[in-house]
Structure 1
Amino acid sequence: AMIALNSATVGEALESIARHLPYHSSGANLSLVEYPDDGKSGIRYSLNLGLGTPRRQLMELTYMVAYRFLCMVTSEGQELWRVHFRHERGLTSGEYARYFACPVRMAQAEDELLFPTHLLAQRIDSNDAGLRQMAERFVGNEMRRFPLDIGRQVEVLVDRQLSAGGASIKLIAGQMGQHPRTLERRLQAQDLVFRDIVDRVRRTRASEYLAQSVIPLSQVAALLGYSSQTSLNRACLRWFGQTPNALRRQGSRGSQ
């Protein structure tokens, strides 16, 4: 928080949060997204939860905190902002309006908070370069003392890349500034295999996406980096012993 609040701009603050969040909360990931055609940018938060773990209240609370942080460091109104949730509506429109002074849309493809892109360049009045440097030195020392697990790093990057068309070891290694064979060796040193990490991330995300009946199965397949729905069907049979349609029917009966 100290680094973010003392950043020069809103964009720098969000980048610092995204960079340090995995060290603060294992399994959490924050990424910045852009929609140039709409003039919008935003933040997308994800958290690896176990199968069956309730996520609605956790995600809504997280985005409420993010929303209030952005309100604190920006000076414009929020009428053009948007909050998207993957889950179905759990509160009334009036109750959501108590926490978000902008449209809240449910059953969307991603959980995200969107706002006009120009806000990223807005300067933060409270920023203090000296305090920021001091905080960064402290955090940097802590990160060197307790480095983020290599498996966790790969998991975070895979999670980000799946919906962009898959996550090959060549792509992930490049993002980490390593040769694919070097990354393989580092994973092997911890008894980890790259394809198993990808499979685990896909399984977790599949259970979340399939719980949202409004997301077409073809889109679920694409979000998981599969080129066809057939690949999704085979994966679900291997993971859960059921087809995607059967899983959705089971989930629908359980929610009634």
Structure 2
Amino acid sequence: MYCADVSLVRSAGLQRFRQTVEALGGDADLFARQAGLPPGALDTDELLVEDTAIAAVLETAAAALRCPDLGLRVASAQEMSLLGPLAVAIQNSPSVADAIECTSRYMFVHARDLSLSVVPDPDGVAGVTGLRYAFRAWVRPLPQATEMTVLFLHRVVGFLVGGGYGLRSVDLPHRPVAPVARYTEAFGATVRFGRPAAVLRVPTSLMRQPLAGVDATLRGLALAFLSRQSPGPRTGPAARVRAVVSQSLGTGPTELADVARALAVHPRTLQRQLVAEGQGFTEIVDDVRRARARAYLTTTDMPLAQVSRLLGFAEQAVLSRCARRWWGMSPTAVRRRAQR
């Protein structure tokens, strides 16, 4: 049986990593290379990278910089905008419970094997509920990545309700890697270590709290976009391939075997499914590249060399050849025409 052992997440999870590391005098690019992250992963939100690489770059940098609270520092600098359209849907949810449910349903957009769920209080206290962050059952998350994600979740909840929300305590599954006082400062509550799971213990009443300034139209648009991103089993093979390729450009070769691995099917099986749907794998990759290239060339001023890397091309000359095939003109000409 062909199966996927690698979990992929969006590089948006590393937002503010570069700034945090460089403020500490570190070389963010060096740490990224040591962790096996692709070029550009620290500077764009859209790359699909291995979860182990994100965890590794945090642990590597924390050790090299002798900064045991690096994950907390990165999370403290991150903005809710890193969630992209999901942030729009969350902010415009009718209540906190709706926001959590929305996050849980569309978490796959950022990390397919992460989950956020509402659970009974681990201590069985009446009037208290747990927000549980979990990963694949067979994976033991590393401390820095866990702390970064849980603190970011805490800050998102605070942002939604406009401040403090009565956080009772925080459970983390590992032993403290930084002074305990640092955790208390970051969360503003007691943090307990060596617990069965990562959990924010919150008042049950929080879930019923309505959110202010909700725009139902914006929420509907965001949810419609998110629903189209799902490479789930009810979606046709071509749509699933398109979703994976769209998120994978720039992370390495987007070959049939790589995409099949991400979809947990055998490459030959995926190829047969595409043929049955009247689609070709090479054509899908080309379509995704063309659309992404046009977006980069017409809506940004990033150098052509960087555009080439983000499209997964080995050199800028390949982008030039593709642009002439797609549009009959050079990348520079496409950009100038858009500016005019």
TM-score, normalising length from structure 2?
0.40
Matched, 1:26 2:26: no
**2:109–2:229 Cα contact (<8 Å) kept:** no
Q: Which residue does 2:184 correspond to in 1?
A: 97
Task: Write the distance in 2 (CA, Å) between the matches of 1:47 and 1:27.
Answer: 6
> What is the 5 A alignment of 1:85-124?
85-124=172-211
**1:78–1:101 Cα contact (<8 Å) kept:** no
Shift of 1:2: 1.1
Stretches of structure 1 lacking an aligned partner (at least 5 in a row): 151-188, 192-256
Task: Provide the secondary structure at the position in 1 that maps to 2:188.
Answer: coil
Q: Which residue does 2:337 correspond to in 1?
A: none
Q: Which residue does 2:136 correspond to in 1?
A: 48
Shift of 1:47: 2.0
State the identity %.
27
Moved more, 71-80 or 88-97: 71-80
Task: Provide the secondary structure at the position in 2 that maps to 1:19.
Answer: helix
Shift of 1:12: 0.3
With over 3 angstroms needed to count, the CA separation of the structure-2 counterparts of 1:147 and 1:54, relative to structure 1, is: closer
**1:79–1:102 Cα contact (<8 Å) kept:** no
**2:135–2:141 Cα contact (<8 Å) kept:** no
Shift of 1:97: 2.3
With over 3 angstroms needed to count, the CA separation of the structure-2 counterparts of 1:54 and 1:140, relative to structure 1, is: closer
TM-score, normalising length from structure 1?
0.53
**1:79–1:101 Cα contact (<8 Å) kept:** no
**2:90–2:103 Cα contact (<8 Å) kept:** yes
With over 3 angstroms needed to count, the CA separation of the structure-2 counterparts of 1:79 and 1:121, relative to structure 1, is: closer
Matched, 1:134 2:213: no
Q: Which residue does 1:147 correspond to in 2?
A: 232
Task: Write the distance in 2 (CA, Å) between the matches of 1:73 and 1:6.
Answer: 9
The structure 1 segments of at least 4 consecutive aligned residues displaced by more than 6 Å after TM superposition are none
Q: Deviations over 1:77-112 (max 9, x none)?
A: 355421101111111122112311111111112211
Task: Write the distance in 1 (CA, Å) between the matches of 2:137 and 2:119.
Answer: 22
Q: Deviations over 1:7-32 (max 9, x none)?
A: 00001000000011023212211111
With over 3 angstroms needed to count, the CA separation of the structure-2 counterparts of 1:30 and 1:148, relative to structure 1, is: farther
Q: Which residue does 2:93 correspond to in 1?
A: 7
Task: Write the distance in 2 (CA, Å) between the matches of 1:59 and 1:47.
Answer: 10
Task: Write the distance in 2 (CA, Å) between the matches of 1:132 and 1:79.
Answer: 27
Q: Which residue does 1:125 correspond to in 2?
A: 212
Task: Write the distance in 2 (CA, Å) between the matches of 1:117 and 1:46.
Answer: 20
Task: Write the distance in 2 (CA, Å) between the matches of 1:15 and 1:71.
Answer: 16
> What is the 5 A alignment of 1:72-221?
72-75=159-162, 77-143=164-230, 146-147=231-232
Task: Write the distance in 1 (CA, Å) between the matches of 2:178 and 2:186.
Answer: 11
Task: Write the distance in 1 (CA, Å) between the matches of 2:169 and 2:234.
Answer: 34
Rg larger in structure:
2
Note the aligned Cα RMSD (angstroms). 2.7
Task: Write the distance in 2 (CA, Å) between the matches of 1:137 and 1:105.
Answer: 39
Matched, 1:60 2:147: yes
**2:166–2:203 Cα contact (<8 Å) kept:** no
Stretches of structure 2 lacking an aligned partner (at least 5 in a row): 1-86, 236-263, 267-340
**1:78–1:102 Cα contact (<8 Å) kept:** no
With over 3 angstroms needed to count, the CA separation of the structure-2 counterparts of 1:32 and 1:49, relative to structure 1, is: closer
- Number of paired residues? 150
With over 3 angstroms needed to count, the CA separation of the structure-2 counterparts of 1:126 and 1:135, relative to structure 1, is: same
Q: Which of 126, 129, 132 in structure 2 is aligned with 1:38?
A: 126
